[in-house]
Each structure stands twice: as structure tokens, then as C-alpha cells.
Amino acid sequence: MVAVTNTAGSTSRQRGGYTKGPAIAAGIGLILLWQAIIVVFGVPSYIAPGPLEVIKVFVDKGDVLWLNFWPTLFEALSGFLLGNGIAILLAIWFVHNQLAERAFYPIAVFINTIPIIAVAPILVLIFGNGYTPKIVIAALICFFPTLVNMVRGLKAVSPATMELMRVLSASNHEILWKIRLQSSLPFLFAALKIASTTCVIGAIVGEWIGSNFGLGALIIEATYNFRSPLLYATVFLGAGLAVTLFTITTLIERRLITWKTPAVH
């Protein structure tokens, strides 16, 4: 058994290496293509800087970038926790109260149909230019996918399992903790991986509407002042934040879930 386990682990590591290789090669290829286009067509720096110019910004303007990075990180994480937390609690309520689901689920759908760019100015008017509207925007953009997936996951328990729990006289609380939550985890993490990237988008959009700090504000400032290298560097930093949060969420999923429901891919 030990030998088989080691072989499986080795195979898994090899597969992981193979899957990372093409992505790294593709990334390097795109950067080289980007530099080649800049050189061949003589694109001015204020329109599209080369990768070397963007790297230089990280060196020369690193203090400015990181000063604006931390507020965006705080807003994105706070919105992620707030939006997903409310969505999970509502999903549990909906599963145990069909009347509540019929009453409030359509309202959640309606809120989700409103473009976030239209909601942002209203929230800024209500809460001002501080952290609060950005956190609320990030929470709103995370909320609906998690609510939908969590409701589906909590209801994904097989009828046979539910019948067994009733035969054993299990309470709703016991069914929730021992059966429903376990069943919902793959669905939940599918939504959390989406939310881990969209929360960054929500925070940046909120900073576009009204803020003097954060990556969103820095993007606006660099755009209007034709500081293209700084603009590109800020965009890459925001993308890096989203990828990092996605990776952390994926790693947590792998530690917590060693199985997956067939309906989840």
C-alpha cells in the first residue's frame, strides 16, 4: 500500500509540473510578442509601453504602487468576507424556510441584475468616499454567485441519505452540520473561486467612482495624465492580487475537500 501511495503522489506531482509548464511558456511567449510588437511598429510609450518599461515602474514607483495596493486589498478581502458570509447565512435560511426563499430569492435576483457601475455612485453618495462603499460594492459583486451555489449545494443531498437521517431521528441542526454542509462544500468553493477575483474588481470599480487612494484611483490618475507605464503596472498589480486570492482559495479547497460531487466540475 505504501508503494502504491508513493507512486500516486509522484504521478500527481508530475501532472502538476506538466500543467504549469505550458502556462509559463505561454506567458513568456506573450511577453516576448508584446515587446516585439512595440519595437517593430514603433509604438509610443504613452500609448503602450514595453514590458521593460513596466518593470522599471515597479522599481522606481514601487512605493506608490504598494501604498495604493493595501487599501484595495483591505476592501477586496472585507467585501469577500461580508458578501460570502451573508450569502451563506441566507442560503441556510432559504433551505430551512421555503417561504423565505420564495419571498427573498427574487429580490436577490433583481439586485444582481443592476449593473454594479450604476450602484457604485449611489453607495458613494450614501457612505462617502471612505472604505465603506468600496467594501459594499465588493460584497455585492460576490454575493449572488455564492448564494445560488450554496442553495444548490445544501439541497444536493441524496433522498436516500435524508431518509436515513430521518429514520435516525436526526434534527435539522444535525442534518445541516453533518450532511448538508458537507454536500455544499464543492458548490461553495466553486463560487468562492469566482468571488476571489470579482471582489478585486468590485473594490477597484468603487475606487473609480470616488476615491483618492487605492489601485482604482491610481488607474484613473495614470490614465488622465498619460502615464502609460504606471497604468500598466497598476493593472498588472491588480491582476496579480486577483490571481493570488484565487490561488489561496484553490489551495484551501484542496485541503478541505478530497472528493467532489459528480455534478460539480
Question: Are 25 and 153 part of one and the same domain?
Answer: no
Give residue 91's pLDDT band: very low, low, confident or very high (50, 70, 90).
very high
Question: Are 22 and 136 part of one and the same domain?
Answer: no
Question: Are 84 and 201 part of one and the same domain?
Answer: yes
Query: Taking a C-beta distance cutoff of 8 angstroms, is the pair 69, 193 a contact?
Result: no
Question: Are 2 and 116 part of one and the same domain?
Answer: no
Please check whether residue 239 lies inside any domain of the structure: yes
Residue 1 pLDDT greater than 50, yes or no: no
Q: What pLDDT was estimated at residue 75? A: 95
pLDDT in tens, 117-171: 888 888 888 888 889 999 999 999 999 999 999 999 888 877 777 777 776 767 7
Please check whether residue 264 lies inside any domain of the structure: no
The CATH code of the domain that includes 83 is 1.10.3720.10
Question: Are 18 and 69 part of one and the same domain?
Answer: no
Compute the mean pLDDT over every residue in the chain, rounded to the nearest whole number.
84
What DSSP element (H or E) covers 83? helix 62-96
Please check whether residue 146 lies inside any domain of the structure: yes
Residue 6 pLDDT greater than 50, yes or no: no
How many structural domains compose the chain?
A: 2
Question: Are 86 and 12 part of one and the same domain?
Answer: no
Q: What pLDDT was estimated at residue 159? A: 74
Query: Taking a C-beta distance cutoff of 8 angstroms, is the pair 257, 189 a contact?
Result: yes
Residue 15 pLDDT greater than 60, yes or no: no
Question: Are 35 and 65 part of one and the same domain?
Answer: no
Share of the chain above pLDDT 90, in %: 38
Question: Are 58 and 8 part of one and the same domain?
Answer: no
Share of the chain above pLDDT 70, in %: 89
DSSP state of 226: T
| Residue scoring higher pLDDT (28 or 20) | 28
Q: What pLDDT was estimated at residue 9? A: 47
pLDDT in tens, 51-84: 888 899 999 988 999 999 999 999 999 999 999 9
Question: Are 81 and 5 part of one and the same domain?
Answer: no
- Rounded Cα gap, residues 25 and 120, in angstroms: 39
Give residue 17's pLDDT band: very low, low, confident or very high (50, 70, 90).
very low
Question: Are 38 and 83 part of one and the same domain?
Answer: no
Residue 10 pLDDT greater than 80, yes or no: no
Please check whether residue 262 lies inside any domain of the structure: no
- Rounded Cα gap, residues 73 and 154, in angstroms: 30
Least confident of 14-23, 32-41, 197-206, 253-262: 14-23
Query: Taking a C-beta distance cutoff of 8 angstroms, is the pair 130, 75 a contact?
Result: no
- Rounded Cα gap, residues 180 and 122, in angstroms: 37
Within its chain, how far is the Cα of 35 from the centroid?
30
Please check whether residue 152 lies inside any domain of the structure: yes
Please check whether residue 263 lies inside any domain of the structure: no
Question: Are 58 and 174 part of one and the same domain?
Answer: yes
- How is 6-52 classified by DSSP, letter by letter? HHHHHHHHHHHHHHHHHHHHHHHHHHHHHHHHHHHHT--TTTS--HH
Sign of CA dihedral 97, 99, 100, 105: positive
Neighbours of 91 (CB within 10 A): 26
- Rounded Cα gap, residues 247 and 253, in angstroms: 10
Question: Are 93 and 32 part of one and the same domain?
Answer: no
Quick one: which of 85, 82, 240, 71 has its CA closest to 150?
A: 85
Please check whether residue 170 lies inside any domain of the structure: yes
Q: What pLDDT was estimated at residue 179? A: 80
Domain range enclosing 9: 1-43
pTM of the model: 0.83
Query: Taking a C-beta distance cutoff of 8 angstroms, is the pair 174, 161 a contact?
Result: no
